Amino acid sequence: MFSCLFWEKTWSDPAVFWAAATTVITALLAWVAWKQLGSLADSSTSDFLFRLKSDFFTEQARKLVFLIERDLLKFEDAGIPYFSIPDFSKPELKPRLQELGINEPTISTYFLDDIILGPLEDVAFYLSEKRITQNQVYEVFSYYIGICAENSAIQDYKRTCRRRPGDSDIYAGLDHLERLMRQISAARN
């Protein structure tokens, strides 16, 4: 169709050559930008997860996790609800409590909510918004979600909160995470 002479003359024309060169360079730059932005998005997600973990794993969270993990809390539905530590005075428990800086036999529901339950609800929200993946939630938070799901004091607290008018869906995100973590765990085993 086209002779060699045609291609020779076309490429020797500076206007054609520079237009073609610009097209090739532009395509190359677009490809590099695409790759860079893709890795930037991955870095952004990783940074977000790192900050989420750092905000969750605090000294105060460690204290509460110890109490939840060892099933040392009891929900008291008094005039002002709170969590008590019934075994607070037991001699074998006292050194561990002191080591962790747990110096009082009661824990405010607000404290538990602010340090453990609220942040786990945030994790459920970020998962629903696709800021983090199910796998990331499982790898980082499944243990803590699991101990909250198994703790009778926390379950009593959630039931009490849900009896209040307008709060029937409170901690629904945490409930969703509990079911999801069980499903992922079952699929992996």
Q: What is the pLDDT of residues 111-165, one digit of tens each?
A: 999 999 999 999 999 999 998 899 999 999 999 999 999 999 999 999 999 998 9
pLDDT at position 2: 55
- 6: which 2 tokens? 């045609």
Contacts of 136 (CB under 8 A, 6+ apart): 49
- Mean pLDDT across the stretch 32-43? 58
3-state secondary structure of 81: coil
For residue 39, pLDDT beyond 60: no
- In whole angstroms, give the CA distance from residue 86 to residue 159: 21
* pLDDT for the residue numbered 168: 87
Lowest-pLDDT range, 7-16, 25-34, 167-176? Answer: 7-16
Using an 8 Å Cβ cutoff, are 118 and 52 in contact?
no
